């Protein structure tokens, strides 16, 4: 059994990470940390009293002896941390936790931009084998059952890869609970909601392209602001080229009130696979070659956070981070999203990926 602390007491920490930790038999939750004492106490109070007896709270404000993050990290019975803090606060905390010898699961994106991410990753691997704790980066979309199923169907479909599309239309209401958090309402990080939420959709696209043996290498896009409160930008339209020179399209927007939905489609000479979080549609040639057939499978909505936390627990037991949670994989998500933003800001200037 591994003792773990939850660092963060915001919406996603409360609604997803906390229950995921509690649902993972290999973890024992021993502490909760928040920058604010009030939010730490509130999160603890949301749990049944039967669970809170062995859970301590820590916080930065107001400063209190024995209650700092440093005090939490000094505990020998806590071997791991799950970090769900604002984007720009995470890199310093990740480094602090690893220096303290704690295994780390940190929320996506891996950092606020690719320079900070590459610097942090370089520092981490510079520690040398046997001298560092494990560091995994969470991306819950990669653990959605619907996405995993779609990836299997892409591999089964086969054929010559032709093209792809990612379309995510949505709208962030003024009273949206995520929008009302100050660090999202007045973002200091690039892209606003396009970075915070958009990295999920990029991860889903990359997962399915990978199943088809493809990886995006070039892109060009336009960006804009459809809803003024969603600064600095809320929309990007782009065309991208894969390693085989096949083009596809990417549409990400948080500013379309009357159109909503998320789909990724992979198209080959044998048919198509279309994924959404709650359904997968396959259109393929019939086995006898005469005509085509369509099959669909529906899924209940599931965020994927519980299996990703379980994968982190297994990684600690195995002594090796799962391929879907490596910092390098998270960096690829971030780079693709950042290049979309950069290309959009420069009026569809061509951007290379992984160069």
Per domain, the residue ranges of the chain are 2-140+305-325, 144-301+334-352
> What is the DSSP secondary structure assignment for residue 107, as one 8-state letter?
P
| Residue-level pLDDT at 290 | 84
Strand, helix or coil for residue 288: coil
Least confident of 29-43, 121-135, 157-171: 121-135
β-pair partners for 219? 240, 351
Fold agreement between 2-140+305-325 and 144-301+334-352: no
**In which band, very low, low, confident or very high, does the pLDDT at 26 lie, cut at 50, 70 and 90?**
very high
The pTM for the full model equals: 0.96
Structural contact between residues 247 and 163, judged by C-beta atoms closer than 8 angstroms: yes
- Around Cβ 171, how many Cβ atoms within 10 Å? 17
Q: How far apart (Å, rounded) are the C-alpha atoms in residues 16 and 244?
A: 38
Q: How far apart (Å, rounded) are the C-alpha atoms in residues 29 and 40?
A: 14
Burial of 55 (0-12, 13-18, 19+ CB in 10 A): middle
| Residue-level pLDDT at 251 | 98
Mean pLDDT over residues 156-163, rounded?
A: 97
CATH of range 144-301+334-352; options 3.90.420.10, 3.40.50.720, 3.30.360.10, 3.90.79.10? 3.30.360.10
Query: Backbone dihedral region of 192: left (phi > 0), alpha (psi from -120 to 50 degrees) or beta?
Result: left
Task: Please state the separation of Cα 291 from the chain's center in Å.
Answer: 39
Structural contact between residues 87 and 189, judged by C-beta atoms closer than 8 angstroms: yes
Averaged confidence pLDDT in the chain? 96
Instruction: Could you please state the CATH topology (level 3) that the domain comprising 2-140+305-325 is classified under.
Output: Rossmann fold (3.40.50)
Structural contact between residues 170 and 227, judged by C-beta atoms closer than 8 angstroms: no
239: pLDDT strictly greater than 90: yes
287: pLDDT strictly greater than 90: no
Structural contact between residues 220 and 236, judged by C-beta atoms closer than 8 angstroms: no
Mean pLDDT over residues 49-68, rounded?
A: 95
């Amino acid at each position: 059994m591994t003792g773990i602390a939850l660092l963060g007491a915001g919406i996603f920490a409360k609604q997803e990470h906390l229950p995921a930790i509690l649902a993972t038999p290999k973890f024992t939750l021993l502490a909760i940390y928040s920058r604010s004492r009030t939010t730490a106490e509130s999160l603890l109070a949301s749990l049944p009293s039967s669970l809170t007896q062995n859970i301590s709270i820590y916080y930065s404000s107001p400063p209190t002896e024995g209650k700092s993050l440093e005090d939490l990290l000094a505990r020998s019975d806590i071997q791991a941390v799950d970090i769900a803090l604002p984007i720009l606060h995470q890199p310093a905390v990740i480094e602090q936790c690893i220096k303290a010898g704690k295994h780390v699961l940190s929320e996506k994106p891996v950092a606020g931009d690719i320079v900070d991410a590459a610097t942090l990753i370089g520092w981490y691997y510079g520690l040398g084998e046997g001298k560092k704790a494990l560091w995994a980066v969470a991306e819950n979309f990669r653990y959605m059952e619907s996405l995993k199923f779609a990836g299997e169907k892409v591999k089964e479909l086969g054929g010559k890869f032709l093209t792809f599309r990612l379309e995510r239309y949505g709208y962030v209401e003024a009273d949206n609970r995520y929008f009302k958090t100050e660090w999202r309402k007045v973002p200091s990080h690039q892209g606003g909601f396009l970075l915070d939420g958009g990295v999920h959709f990029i991860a889903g696209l990359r997962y399915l392209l990978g199943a088809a043996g493809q990886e995006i290498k070039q892109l060009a896009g336009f960006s804009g602001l459809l809803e003024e409160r969603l600064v600095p930008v809320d929309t990007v339209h782009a065309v991208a080229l894969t390693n085989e020179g096949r083009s596809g399209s990417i549409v990400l927007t948080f500013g379309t009130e009357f159109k909503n939905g998320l789909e990724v489609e992979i198209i080959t000479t044998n048919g198509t696979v279309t994924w959404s979080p709650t359904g997968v549609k396959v259109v393929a040639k019939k086995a006898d070659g005469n005509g085509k057939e369509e099959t669909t499978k529906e899924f209940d909505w599931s965020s994927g956070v519980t299996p990703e936390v379980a994968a982190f627990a297994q990684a600690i037991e195995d002594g090796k981070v799962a391929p879907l949670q490596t910092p390098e994989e998270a960096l690829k998500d971030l780079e693709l999203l950042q290049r979309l933003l950069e290309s959009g800001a420069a009026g569809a200037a061509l951007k290379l990926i992984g160069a």
